[in-house]
């Protein structure tokens, strides 16, 4: 009996020794605590990376979409750029198979960066299915578009149909016309200080207001701002557990003037102003009746001022005012044209100092190009468009275009001209995920994480 017990004990001991120990499960990324994972995700340098991380799993999406996480992340510098929308100044005729936005083309900053193509097909179209929107300004991740119309409204320059959209999230907001201002001449509309959100943007409109009781067409300019009505208390009278209430937007007429204002603006006709550009936080116009000064709008204070030009520069010669490439502040670049002589000057407007940078004789610079014909630029030139890096010009009597690099003054032939509008990625990133299973098997257009 004792031997049997000994044999049993020996068998049990041998079996216990032979049984292998269970290996520890492999450590994965899912074993990282939430606090540590939040520290890892908060150091992502691109909003696109955050969107892709939120699409990984429900846990990651829960961490990224939490309010504390979005508050803790800082906007990367430079701002992540989605790409540029190019509006052709001389677009080809619309094609039968692509009647929409034939004159607008989106070029992404990186071919493999974005999950969307930059299409604007979500904007409202006419009854015939043709969209007549054209881009007039951009700020942050938003675009400002106006509808091209034929008829008296376009010829008289009345208040146009406007829409603000965010292409990445495919959202848009139609801008209503101002009550009592429908028949005023619209000088310009700008999307300023967009705050990188379609819920908190600000729209600035410059109107021409004629004087009443004056025999001639004499008037002044007025600034109107379309922004959120922060004083409307009704938007805060919603339940705490409800979603964020819709923001209320209103038109406001800016009547305050900057301290030290001495000169009132008097314009002789609605066509007295000629737009020059937007640079260093100011919008510039040339005044037809005042060749020695410019009309300037502070886009932050929404106040007008008149800047006097230094000797040697006349307002009729100024063609464009753009930012200077680099970190130079309080300096803008002026492009002037006198006959066939193109000049680029640096204007320190706060100190009233103008420094000549470069000049170019267009006849001598273009005579050796392939498409040049005798007599080009002899009767003068006209500017098609100017950017911070180049100016596109053409002879007065022809449509042959050349591009001049404003840094090196190198001249090359240009096939077509376009205006580029930068478009950034939204910040904080707009995260939208579809909670149901995909029913379209990955087909169809979708701008969000899922395609269903």
Cβ neighbours, 10 Å, residue 394:
18
Using pLDDT thresholds of 50, 70 and 90, give the confidence band for residue 275.
Answer: very high
CA 260 from chain center: how many Å? 33
Q: Output the pLDDT for position 78.
A: 65
Residue 164: which pLDDT band, with cuts at 50, 70 and 90?
Answer: very high
pLDDT tens, position by position, 178-187? 777 767 788 8
C-alpha span between 333 and 337 (Å, rounded): 13
CA distance 427 to 141: 8
Q: From CA 358, how far away is CA 333, in angstroms rounded?
A: 11
Residue 169 lies in a domain: yes
Rounded CA-CA distance 326/241 in Å is: 48
Q: Which of the given ranges, 151-160, 175-184, 406-415, has the highest pLDDT on average? A: 406-415
What end-to-end distance do the CA atoms of the chain give, in Å? 75
> Rounded CA gap, 63 and 78, in Å?
25
Query: 263 lies in a domain?
Result: yes
Q: Which of 160, 124, 102 minimizes the C-alpha distance to 418? A: 102
Region of 34 (left: φ > 0; alpha: ψ -120 to 50; beta: rest) is alpha
* Residue scoring higher pLDDT (441 or 222): 222
Which run of H or E residues covers position 14?
helix 2-18
Q: What is the rounded distance in angstroms from the CA atom of residue 396 to the CA atom of residue 382?
A: 6
Q: Is residue 171 part of a domain?
A: yes
Minimum mean pLDDT range among 113-117, 143-147, 238-242, 418-422: 238-242
CB 359 within 8 Å of CB 339: no
* Whole-angstrom distance, CA of residue 284 vs CA of residue 274: 9
Residue 138 has pLDDT above 70, yes or no: yes
- Ranking 55-64, 221-230, 335-344 by mean pLDDT, the lowest is 221-230
Q: Where are the beta strands (DSSP E) in 90-217?
A: 104-108, 133-139, 142-147, 162-166, 171-175, 185-191, 203-210
Structural domain includes residue 44: no
Under the banding of pLDDT at 50, 70 and 90, the label for residue 230 is: low
> What does the pLDDT average to over 306-327?
81
Q: For the chain, what is the domain count? A: 1
For residue 77, the model assigns a pLDDT of 62
Pairing of strands 353-361, 249-254: unpaired
Bridge partner list, 418: 88
Residue 27 domain-assigned (yes or no): no
Tokens of 312: 């040697």
Length of the chain: 452
For residues 167, 169, 171, 172, the Cα torsion angle rounded to the nearest 10 degrees is: -30
For residue 355, pLDDT beyond 70: yes
pLDDT at 106 over 50: yes
Q: How would DSSP label each residue in 301-324? A: TTEEEEEEPPTT--TTTEEEEEEP
The predicted-structure confidence for 179-218, as pLDDT tens digits, reads as follows: 777 677 888 998 876 565 787 788 889 988 888 877 778 8
Lowest mean pLDDT among 120-134, 233-247, 427-441: 233-247
Residue with tokens 């098609």: 384
pLDDT of residue 165: 92
Query: Among positive and negative, which fits the CA dihedral 208, 209, 213, 218?
Result: negative
Residues 375-393: pLDDT tens digits? 899 888 989 999 888 999 9
Of 92-96, 268-272, 344-348, 385-389, which gets the smallest average pLDDT?
A: 92-96
pTM for this prediction: 0.76
How far is 48 from 401, CA to CA, in rounded Å? 38
Mean pLDDT of the chain: 76
Flag whether pLDDT at 433 surpasses 60. no
DSSP annotation of 370 reads T
pLDDT beyond 50 at 351: yes
Contact between 48 and 425 under an 8 Å Cβ cutoff? The reply is yes
Reported as a single tens digit per residue, the pLDDT across 36-70 is 888 888 887 666 677 778 878 888 888 887 767 77
Q: Is residue 287 part of a domain?
A: yes
Tell me, yes or no, whether 443 lies in a domain.
Answer: no
Report which of 84, 40, 141 is spatially closest to residue 389, judged by C-alpha positions.
84
How big is the CA angle at 330 (ends 325 and 331), to the nearest 5 degrees?
Answer: 45
Residue 32 has pLDDT above 70, yes or no: yes
Q: Which pLDDT value is given to residue 76?
A: 63
- DSSP E strands, 140-266: 142-147, 162-166, 171-175, 185-191, 203-210, 218-228, 249-254
**Which residue range forms the structural domain that includes residue 302?**
81-92+99-308
Q: 323 in a domain, yes or no?
A: no
């Amino acid at each position: 009996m004792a031997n049997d017990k000994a044999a049993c004990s020996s068998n049990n001991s041998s079996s216990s020794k032979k049984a292998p120990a269970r290996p520890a499960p492999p450590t994965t990324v899912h074993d990282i605590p939430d606090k540590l994972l939040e520290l890892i995700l908060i150091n992502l340098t691109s909003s696109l990376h955050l969107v892709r991380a939120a699409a990984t799993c429900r846990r990651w999406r829960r961490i990224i979409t939490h309010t504390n996480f979005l508050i803790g992340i800082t906007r990367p510098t430079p701002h992540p750029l989605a790409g540029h929308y190019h509006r052709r100044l001389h677009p080809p005729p619309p094609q039968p198979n692509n009647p929409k936005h034939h004159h607008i083309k989106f070029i992404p900053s990186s071919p493999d960066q974005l999950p969307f193509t930059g299409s604007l097909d979500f904007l409202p179209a006419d009854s015939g299915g043709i969209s007549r929107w054209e881009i007039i300004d951009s700020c942050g991740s938003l675009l400002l578009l106006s509808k091209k119309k034929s008829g008296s409204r376009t010829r008289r320059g009345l208040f146009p149909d406007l829409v603000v959209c965010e292409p990445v999230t495919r959202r848009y907001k139609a801008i209503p016309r101002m009550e009592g201002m429908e028949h005023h001449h619209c000088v310009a509309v700008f999307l300023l200080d967009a705050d990188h959100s379609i819920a908190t943007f600000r729209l600035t409109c410059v109107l021409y207001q004629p004087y009443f009781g004056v025999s001639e067409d004499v008037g002044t300019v007025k600034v109107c701002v379309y922004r959120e009505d922060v004083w409307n208390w009704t938007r805060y009278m919603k339940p705490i557990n409800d979603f964020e209430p819709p923001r209320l937007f209103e038109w406001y007429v800016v009547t305050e003037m900057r301290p030290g204002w001495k000169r009132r603006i008097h314009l002789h006709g609605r066509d007295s102003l000629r737009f020059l550009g937007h640079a260093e936080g100011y919008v510039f116009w040339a005044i037809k009746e005042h060749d020695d000064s410019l009309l300037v709008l502070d886009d932050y204070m929404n106040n007008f001022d008149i800047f006097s030009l230094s000797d040697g520069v006349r307002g009729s010669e100024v063609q464009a005012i753009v930012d200077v490439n680099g970190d130079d502040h309080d300096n803008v670049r002026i492009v002037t044209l006198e006959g066939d002589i193109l000049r680029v000057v640096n204007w320190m407007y706060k100190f009233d100092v103008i420094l000549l940078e470069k000049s170019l004789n267009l006849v001598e610079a273009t005579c050796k190009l392939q498409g040049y014909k005798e007599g080009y630029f002899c009767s003068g030139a006209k500017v098609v468009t100017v950017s911070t890096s180049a100016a596109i010009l053409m002879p007065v009597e022809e449509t042959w275009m050349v591009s001049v690099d404003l840094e090196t003054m190198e001249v090359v032939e240009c096939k077509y001209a376009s205006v580029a509008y930068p478009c950034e990625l939204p910040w904080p990133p707009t995260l939208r995920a579809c909670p149901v299973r995909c029913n379209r098997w990955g087909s169809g257009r979708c701008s969000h994480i899922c395609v269903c």
